[in-house]
Amino acid sequence: MTTTASTSGVPVVAHIDAPIEPYDLDAEIALALTRVQHHTMVTRHRLAATYQIAAFAERSGLRGSFVECGTWKGGASGMMALASVRHGSASRDLHLFDSFVDMCVPDETLDGEIAVAQARATPGLTGPLDGTLRPMTGFYEPLGGHGTPEDVRALLCDEIAYPADRVHIHEGWFQDTLVPARESIGEIAVLRLDTDFYAGTLYCLESLFDLVVSGGFVIFDDYGCYEGCRRAVDEFLTTVTPPHFLNHIDAEGRYLIKR
Ligand SMILES: C[S@@+](CC[C@H](N)C(=O)[O-])C[C@H]1O[C@@H](n2cnc3c(N)ncnc32)[C@H](O)[C@@H]1O
């Protein structure tokens, strides 16, 4: 630890103000980011953490699939695929879930101010903010539109050359697709939840958490961003024993290691 004198003369720990240092696996991550950047809305820190976690899963021989709920155009899933190519043998099954329409409406009693403000700013919003599975048409327009299975395949199978028979795209609302897919998913090594709102997040945890192997990872992309996501995670984790510590990725992202 290095200390320097502050203006008040009281020594301060120098590393608090230090610039962000390179990530572990920095060069690989920088390259991976250039390959997925047009397919993702996720921050650099969270993409880097996703890569590091998937790489660790490969190097340590963790059993199970890589799963993402909320893929949009496939960028974060692409980071897991790239880590699997580089640190494994690209033989992980990737199970990718998304409605591939615009985001569903939030529940104004559960999802918090940011979600409500974003919903109200959406031109195609109709009806109450009651958390029902109705797409808010135009929600992703500022980002070039909602994702499609073709966007995801173009990145994973064409650009990254991940084996197409290992890429399983489950199109539809989580509430319709997750439970029927449980058997085909089997064990999960990494579960990445990028689901934004309360109902979807809670449903994903209730449907898939038990499939995550001991020592496996659950990544929460939106914990620090959407109140509903945080509420769902906190609520779900109170039902799990032993307790799980949420590790910090950045202001919004968290992950846990299943005990
Ligand atoms: C923030 S985006 C995902 C971003 C993506 N991981 C990336 O790399 O940029 C959230 C995605 O979750 C999907 N989604 C949210 N709730 C859903 C639900 N209940 N069922 C299916 N898809 C849902 C949305 O359609 C959207 O594509």
* Per-residue pLDDT tens digits for 219-236: 999 999 999 999 999 999
In this structure, the residues whose C-beta lies within 6 A of any atom of ligand 1 are 40-42, 70-72, 75-76, 98-99, 103-104, 146-147, 173-174, 194-196, 200
Q: Which domain holds residue 185?
A: 23-100+147-257
Please check whether residue 189 lies inside any domain of the structure.
Answer: yes
Q: What does the pLDDT read at residue 14?
A: 52
Q: What does the pLDDT read at residue 22?
A: 82
163-171 average pLDDT score: 98
Please check whether residue 35 lies inside any domain of the structure.
Answer: yes
- Give how many domains the chain has, as a whole number: 1
pLDDT band with cut points at 50, 70 and 90 for residue 7: low
Residue 1 has pLDDT above 80, yes or no: no
Which atom of ligand 1 approaches the CA of 77 most closely? 8
Residue 69 has pLDDT above 70, yes or no: yes
C-alpha triplet 185, 188, 202: angle, nearest 5°: 90
Q: Which protein residue's CA is at the shortest distance from atom 1 of ligand 1?
A: 194
CATH number for the domain harbouring residue 67: 3.40.50.150
Q: Which protein residue's CA is at the shortest distance from atom 10 of ligand 1?
A: 70
pLDDT band with cut points at 50, 70 and 90 for residue 202: very high
Please check whether residue 40 lies inside any domain of the structure.
Answer: yes
Please say whether the beta carbons of 194 and 76 come within 8 A. Answer: yes
Pocket test for ligand 1, best of 33, 39, 98 (most atoms within 8 A of CB): 98
Burial class of residue 229 in the structure, from the number of CB atoms within 10 Å of its CB (0-12 exposed, 13-18 middle, 19+ buried): buried
Residue 62 has pLDDT above 80, yes or no: yes
Please check whether residue 6 lies inside any domain of the structure.
Answer: no
DSSP 3-state assignment of 69? strand
pTM higher than 0.85: yes
Please check whether residue 158 lies inside any domain of the structure.
Answer: yes
Please check whether residue 221 lies inside any domain of the structure.
Answer: yes
138-165 average pLDDT score: 97
Please check whether residue 11 lies inside any domain of the structure.
Answer: no
Q: Which two tokens stand for residue 174?
A: 């989580």
Pocket test for ligand 1, best of 96, 104, 178, 249 (most atoms within 8 A of CB): 104
Closest CA to 148 of 82, 81, 71: 71
Residue 21 has pLDDT above 90, yes or no: no
Please check whether residue 33 lies inside any domain of the structure.
Answer: yes
Residue 3 has pLDDT above 60, yes or no: no
Residue 2 has pLDDT above 50, yes or no: no
